[in-house]
Structure 1
């Protein structure tokens, strides 16, 4: 069963959603049959990759939110994060353009390390206060995951992966996705937002039952049939 997840590195609800989704998945007997693919989405592609600002400043200047209101909002998100096992540090988090970070994520996907890279990027941004638009920061994350430094430098500084990132963004737009996180379950169902663990658990069970698990036989006994060994009446 395949799960596609659209997210952005600077979205705290994407991090919360990731943790809740993973907690739900660990409870299910078919967890080893699930393939997760991380997809790129940019909440604010207009941000300058050569500049950073703190979260309060961003809300005040870009979103027109008063500082007191922004502080209250971030306090609420921090509490939500604790419930998902995340210690957000919004005082350290640096808001910047995340396009290069998404290129690194696509590069990690080629090394089967996309989930680990998604986690590393969230930690770097929300907890360690690192600039996820800085190629040196991104390359160091790749190295920690055992990915070749030279290849990582090329991935984040060249335009080789631009098309793949933009394709994810366009696919989201074509499907009417305007906010993240957004989960597509085996191409059949969707779950939007940082839902509680129970919601993800139920959605995964339903999707698996309807799209992956063997057919439930409603025919009863006595029907004539044939198989590889012959026919029976």
Structure 2
């Protein structure tokens, strides 16, 4: 008999650790195939709900939010890339980027789910 689990996966679509967590969850469920069936529900979470529309330089943001140095940030990017590869995600950890508020992206995903693939 297959057990069904309802799983609420809470994440921000711009969070690399959330992608790593999803990959790890999918791997675990794959190992339990035939024993467990997952009813997976994605729940939105905004890491930076008060971020302005122009976003912020990623390095500056990480320094302000977490107090991390550029060297620590480079190590974290390498760790994320390595862990991501283990669960099937390829991250490009190099270079500088920007971080944005993801409210509109979550809203778009919500309406895409409501309308479905034919909407």
Smaller-chain TM-score range? 0.7 to 0.9
Where has structure 1 moved over 6 Å in runs of 4 or more?
Answer: none
Indicate the residue corresponding to 2:74 in structure 1: 71
CA distance in 2, matches of 1:46, 1:147: 34
Partners in 2 of 1:45 and 1:147 — Cα distance? 31
Structure 2 residue runs without a partner (length 5+): none
Alpha-carbon contact 1:5-1:37 (below 8 Å) kept: yes
Number of aligned residues: 113
Q: What is the CA-CA distance between 1:97 and the residue it aligns to?
A: 0.2
C-alpha contact (below 8 Å) 2:7/2:40 kept by paired residues: yes
Q: TM-score, normalised by structure 1?
A: 0.43
**3-state DSSP of counterpart to 2:18:** helix
Which of the pair is proportionally richer in strand?
Answer: 2
Q: Which of structures 1 and 2 has the bigger CA Rg?
A: 1
The answer to which structure, 1 or 2, has the higher relative contact order (CA under 8 A, 6+ apart) is 2
Return the offset for 1:7: 0.6
Deviates more, 1:80-89 or 1:91-100: 91-100
Indicate if the aligned counterparts of 1:56 and 1:71 stay in contact, CA closer than 8 A: no
In the aligned structure 1, how far is the partner of 2:56 from the partner of 2:113? 29
Which of 89, 105, 128 in structure 1 is aligned with 2:109? 105
Give, in whole Å, the separation in 2 of the partners of 1:63 and 1:75: 17
Give the Cα–Cα distance (whole angstroms) in 2 for the partners of residues 52 and 4 of structure 1.
Answer: 28
Which residues of structure 1 form unaligned runs of 5+? Answer: 113-145, 149-233
